[in-house]
Amino acid sequence: MLATMVWLAGRYEASQVQTRLERDTADAVSDIRVALNRNLQSLQALHAGDPGQLAWDIEASELLRKNRELVRIEWREPNMRLRTHAQSPYRPVAWDARLRESNQSDSAIACANARRLSSPSYSSSYFQPHGDGLGSEMMELCLPLTAGGRNTGFLVVTYSLQDVLINLVAHNLTRSQEASFTEPDGTRLAVLGAARRGSRMFTAQHLLDLPGSTLVLRMDTWHAAPSVFPNVLTALVTTMSIALVTVMAVLVRDNRRRLRAERDLADALAFRKAMEDSLVTGLRARDLEGRITYVNPAFCAMVGFGAQELLGQSVSAPYWPPELVDEYRQRQQIRLAGQHVPPREGFESVFMRKDGTRFPVLIIEAPLINAQGQHTGWMSAFLDISEQRRVEELSRASQERLQATARLATVGEMASLLSHELNQPLAAISSYATGSINLLQPSAPDAAPDAEQLQDVRMAMQQIARQAERAGKVIKSVHDFVRRRDQAREAVHAQQLLDAILPLVILQARKLGVRVHTTVEPGLPPTLCDRTMVEQVLLNLARNAMQAMDDPAIPTRVLDIRVRRTASSPHSGWVEFAVTDIGTGIAPEVAEKLFTPFFTTRPEGMGLGLSMCRTVIEQHGGFLGFAPHEPRGTVFTFTLPLIQPSSSSQA
């Protein structure tokens, strides 16, 4: 502390010296700037009232006698040719007229800058030789002359940097100070005074920012070693007394902070305990050896074991089902060895309650990091997903019932079509049966039918069988659509899906006068889908398309069903089904709510068809959408994944 105090006292005294020097430097720069502005006003007064050349020479000479920092004043034409000049009587300088009138001279550069800015401009410093073999640094000031907004010439003034220091700065200097003009890189241009070398030096620099030029005023001074030792004893006693009082105050404050921190910690622990007790998510912490170090009440309630029964368990947990103990133990060893990082979204497992009942859980694990950033174990969160599984099963069963209801509703709407369609084969069967009976009746009681009659009877029987088969196919297609429900997905070709629904589509197409066109891209691999659900999607879209064309204003009604690979790539892994009609299209206000459940535009509709179709396609990972068809109508498209052939089969 003593050494620090002495060092700080020396630093303080040195800082005071440095502060004074910087203040003197700033004052000197301010004095120079004020003097230059005063000279500028005097120079501007030379041309007040449009003086003649003789009067100008007299006033310029007088100005040079009063201001010794000025070396030369020139009156130049707008083209920079010299008109007249006046020179200081105190300093003989050998001027080269050719160099001063060249376009590359410092005065020409300063005047070019002044003309551009329409204000006075200074040049950078340059060395000018004297007639006595010596030289000094000079600086040019160019003042543009205007009359009625027109340039009438320039007033060029030459400053001596050494005389600027002598006349504008010297009166403020002390014997221990040295002033100098320097370039920004530290090169000295002019020096005034001589500081004593070998002592402790202090330096201050200040920019003299002039229009067109920048100089640095540097001031150096020296100072003896700080005289702090005569006052050290008094300062030490005072400092130690203050230090004792300060230490007592710090101890009291620290004690109060400690008590406040302990209260805050107790409140935080109580808050955390209340929060953990209110959680429905089970929490469990394990160390790096797999021992359970913490469980919350929700986890104990979930598995039915108390905290004391679970803490310290490591080899096997009592909530593991006996048949899965080996699998869980192996998984725990892999986890503790750091060979597998659990997924962030968690994984599912099966636990056993104390009464032996099994229940599914979702486990989310994360590394347990302490305050020093070290991995000390694992923290696990558990969610009982039994209720979620039950709700999912109810939802699946409800969806299946809804699909069955939709299929039955479809069959109900087709009942009238079936009666019309079955009338034709039944009428044909009746006609052929009547004809056969007539042919089998003999013309005479004992006469036997001839060969030609038997041939006609045989042909009639064949027609009866064909028409009966046709009626049976119609009934079988409806029966299969209503009863078929395969839970698993299977590989089905697109043509098979179309063949399954075409009989039902053609029934309605005949009634509405619609022509059905189907196109399947050749060579398509089979698609992996739930056959019954996709058939129902195709049938719903086809029926909607035909109903959209049920308008007398449409003379030609065509339903186009196309199957191809998606347009993104010829080797894409998706197949696209497109159902196109040439109906009236879909209005914008209807398009916004088209897939909303229970929204329909038909009085007899349920509003579940398109909503169910989108759900089915999205369950397969595809997309169902629609777009206008040019010149009229709408095209509905949906995609299904293709089964890609293996590399071996391709080879």
Residue pLDDT, tens place only, 521-539 = 998 889 988 887 788 788 8
β partners of residue 84: 75
pLDDT value for 133 = 66
Provide the token pair at 31.
Answer: 């004095």
Q: How far is Cα 73 from Cα 58, in angstroms, rounded to an integer?
A: 12
* Confidence check: pLDDT of 239 > 50: yes
Instruction: Among 149-153, 226-230, 245-249, 329-333, name the most confident range.
Output: 245-249
**Which residue pairs, CB below 8 angstroms and at least 24 apart, start in 29-36?**
29/206, 29/207, 29/208, 29/217, 31/168, 31/169, 31/172, 32/164, 32/168, 32/169, 32/208, 32/217, 33/208, 35/69, 35/167, 35/168, 36/210
Q: How far is Cα 559 from Cα 509, in angstroms, rounded to an integer?
A: 9
Residue pLDDT, tens place only, 423-480 = 556 766 776 677 777 667 665 555 566 677 677 777 777 777 766 776 676 566 556 5
pLDDT value for 517 = 92
Distances 42 to 24, 132, 157, 385 between C-alpha atoms, Å: 27, 30, 12, 95
Fold classified for 279-384: Beta-Lactamase (3.30.450)
CATH of 2-222, one of 3.30.450.20, 3.20.20.70, 3.30.70.890, 3.40.50.300: 3.30.450.20
Provide the token pair at 592.
Answer: 């916004």
* Confidence check: pLDDT of 350 > 60: yes
**H-assigned helices in 216-287:** 232-278
CB 478 within 8 A of CB 414: yes
Length of the chain: 651
Nearest CA-CA partner of 285 in 373, 380, 362: 380
Nearest CA-CA partner of 619 in 545, 521, 544, 536: 536
* Confidence check: pLDDT of 368 > 50: yes
CATH topology identical between 279-384 and 489-651: no
pLDDT value for 237 = 64
Residues whose CB is less than 8 angstroms from the CB of residue 414 and which lie 6 or more positions away in sequence, other chains included: 478, 504, 507, 508
Distances 453 to 173, 269, 404, 646 between C-alpha atoms, Å: 150, 107, 51, 61
* Confidence check: pLDDT of 580 > 90: yes
Provide the token pair at 329.
Answer: 């133990």
For the chain, the structural domain boundaries read 2-222, 237-274, 279-384, 405-485, 489-651
pLDDT value for 273 = 80
Q: How far is Cα 638 from Cα 625, in angstroms, rounded to an integer?
A: 6
E strands present in 108-194 = 121-122, 126-129, 135-147, 150-160, 177-182, 188-192
Q: Pairing mode, if any, of strands 375-384 and 282-287?
A: antiparallel
Which DSSP category does 323 fall into?
A: G
- Helix (H), strand (E), coil (C) string for 270-313: HHHHHHHHHCCCEEEEEECCCCEEEECHHHHHHHCCCHHHHCCC
Residue pLDDT, tens place only, 538-568 = 888 998 888 888 887 788 888 999 999 886 5
Superfamily of domain 489-651: Histidine kinase-like ATPase, C-terminal domain (3.30.565.10)
User: Distance between terminal CA atoms of the chain?
Assistant: 87
Q: How far is Cα 286 from Cα 312, in angstroms, rounded to an integer?
A: 9
CB 634 within 8 A of CB 583: yes
Least confident span in 325-339, 391-405, 460-474: 460-474
Nearest CA-CA partner of 613 in 536, 555, 547: 536
Percent of the chain at pLDDT exceeding 70 = 79
Cα 160 to chain center, whole Å? 62
Residue pLDDT, tens place only, 102-155 = 777 888 888 988 888 888 999 888 888 876 667 888 999 999 988 877 888 899
Residue pLDDT, tens place only, 102-113 = 777 888 888 988
Give me the chain's average pLDDT, please. 79
Residues whose CB is less than 8 angstroms from the CB of residue 613 and which lie 6 or more positions away in sequence, other chains included: 536, 537, 540, 541, 624, 638
Helix, strand, coil shares of the chain, percent, nearest 5, are: 45, 25, 30
Percent of the chain at pLDDT exceeding 90 = 12
φ, ψ at 192 (rounded to 5°): -135, 130
Residue pLDDT, tens place only, 185-230 = 878 888 887 656 555 788 888 888 889 888 898 888 876 555 544 4
Tell me how crowded residue 220 is: count the other CB atoms within 10 A of its CB: 21
Residues whose CB is less than 8 angstroms from the CB of residue 302 and which lie 6 or more positions away in sequence, other chains included: 282, 351, 353, 361, 382, 384
* Confidence check: pLDDT of 254 > 90: yes
Higher pLDDT, 544 or 10: 544
Residue written as tokens 């089915």? 616
Which pLDDT band holds residue 647 (cuts at 50, 70, 90)? very low
Q: How far is Cα 110 from Cα 139, in angstroms, rounded to an integer?
A: 10
Residue pLDDT, tens place only, 25-78 = 899 899 899 999 999 998 888 888 778 888 888 898 999 899 888 988 998 888
Distances 405 to 211, 408, 415, 536, 598 between C-alpha atoms, Å: 92, 5, 15, 12, 14
pLDDT value for 252 = 94
